[in-house]
A = this chain, B = another copy of it.
């Protein structure tokens, strides 16, 4: 230990931390000696062990980092979290809950966790963290005891959106959903998939739409991207055979998917909204929509992140913040209209 520098021992700790009383003289002597020995202050690891605090907030992404960064909602949420955490803290530690990732959640160093989406695969990690007294906040997803919840009215908003489509007069409607589980491939939406679904947001948005269209069917996209929406859109619109009627409206569970569906429609020679109504979800203001203004449910994504960040701060300070609830707003764009 570089402390032997001056003459003192653990008084050096006081010199660096600034906590406790120390004479200006010795303090200066210690700092000068440290400088000469090129000692730059306490080792973060030891300090965090002793103090029981690292200053790090773990942010657990549902998806691989790669996908998360491509999702404007996730980015807005991260934005919001970091706004509230400030840079005083150690920073945000990005973790994923996919597969092997679980182990890293359990073995990583952090003081509090924010889950972006909370699914059953986190059950064990949550148990571990609860046992370690690590405060947890979940943005949407399933509720767990001891995990503060930041919720969005996915179900009700989806109902309102579907009602808008219904009110326009559409009766042949299809849905393009977000992934329903760990399977990441394009599939027809079946009741088996619905029954076994693990992704709360997708389930809630589907359930909400089915309040209006009870038998709503369609496709499960491989991921929330414009390309995956395109692929799903082609299937939803390109079907053929006896008795099948092309939908006059498609409800996409995200704006990215909606953009892809619009591209698919246009590639098939259909006009939006003349031949097809397309609605999205998120209010992500995706560019590249040319002259379309997407009809969508706008969610306060940054606000969700900020609420989570504030909750973490309060929990770490020993407080007991309440759960938070956010509401979506219908944005009437130019991609929805009565059927021809």
CA distance A232 to B99 in the complex (A): 47
Residues from chain B with Cβ under 8 Å of A93 in the complex: 56, 90-94
Q: How far is the CB of A20 from chain B (nearest CB, A)?
A: 18
Residues from chain B with Cβ under 8 Å of A83 in the complex: 66
The answer to whether A87 touches B98, judged by C-beta atoms less than 8 angstroms apart, is yes
Residues from chain B with Cβ under 8 Å of A23 in the complex: none
A145 within 8 A of B: no
The answer to whether A79 touches B65, judged by C-beta atoms less than 8 angstroms apart, is yes
With A83-B66, A100-B87 already in contact, the answer to whether A43 and B94 are too (CB < 8 A) is no
A288 within 8 A of B: yes
Taking each of A56, A65, A87, A89, which has the highest tally of chain B beta carbons within 10 Å of its own beta carbon? A87
A108 within 8 A of B: yes
Q: Which residues of A from 260 to 286 have beta carbons under 8 Å from B?
A: 286
With A91-B104, A99-B87 already in contact, the answer to whether A46 and B49 are too (CB < 8 A) is yes
A142 within 8 A of B: no
Q: How far is the CB of A262 from chain B (nearest CB, A)?
A: 13
CA distance A94 to B95 in the complex (A): 11
CA distance A70 to B75 in the complex (A): 8
Q: Which residues of A from 17 to 61 have beta carbons under 8 Å from B?
A: 38-49, 52, 54-56, 58
Q: Which residues of A from 96 to 123 have beta carbons under 8 Å from B?
A: 96, 98-101, 104, 106-109
Complex partner residue of A107 from B47, B69, B70, B79, CB under 8 angstroms: B47
The answer to whether B65 touches A109, judged by C-beta atoms less than 8 angstroms apart, is no
Q: Count this chain's copies in the assembly.
A: 2
CA distance A7 to B34 in the complex (A): 45
Residues from chain B with Cβ under 8 Å of A215 in the complex: none
* Contact flags A125-156 to B (C-beta < 8 A → 1, else 0): 00110011000000000000000000000000
The answer to whether B90 touches A55, judged by C-beta atoms less than 8 angstroms apart, is no
The answer to whether B287 touches A108, judged by C-beta atoms less than 8 angstroms apart, is no
Q: Which residues of A from 282 to 328 have beta carbons under 8 Å from B?
A: 286-290
With A82-B66, A93-B90 already in contact, the answer to whether A106 and B287 are too (CB < 8 A) is no
Residues from chain B with Cβ under 8 Å of A54 in the complex: 45, 108-109
A237 within 8 A of B: no
A203 within 8 A of B: no
CA distance A128 to B41 in the complex (A): 9
Q: How far is the CB of A66 from chain B (nearest CB, A)?
A: 5
A88 within 8 A of B: yes
A251 within 8 A of B: no
Q: Which residue of B lies closest to A81 (CB)?
A: B65
The answer to whether A104 touches B88, judged by C-beta atoms less than 8 angstroms apart, is yes
CA distance A121 to B132 in the complex (A): 37
With A45-B45, A46-B49 already in contact, the answer to whether A56 and B109 are too (CB < 8 A) is yes
Binding site for B on A (CB under 8 A): 38-49, 52, 54-56, 58, 64-66, 69-70, 75, 78-79, 82-83, 87-96, 98-101, 104, 106-109, 127-128, 131-132, 286-290
Which 9 pairs between the two chains have the least Cβ-Cβ distance? A287-B288, A65-B82, A287-B287, A87-B101, A40-B128, A90-B108, A91-B95, A45-B49, A44-B109
- 8 A-B residue pairs with Cβ-Cβ distance under 8 Å, sorted by A, are A42-B107, A48-B49, A55-B108, A56-B109, A64-B87, A66-B82, A69-B75, A94-B94
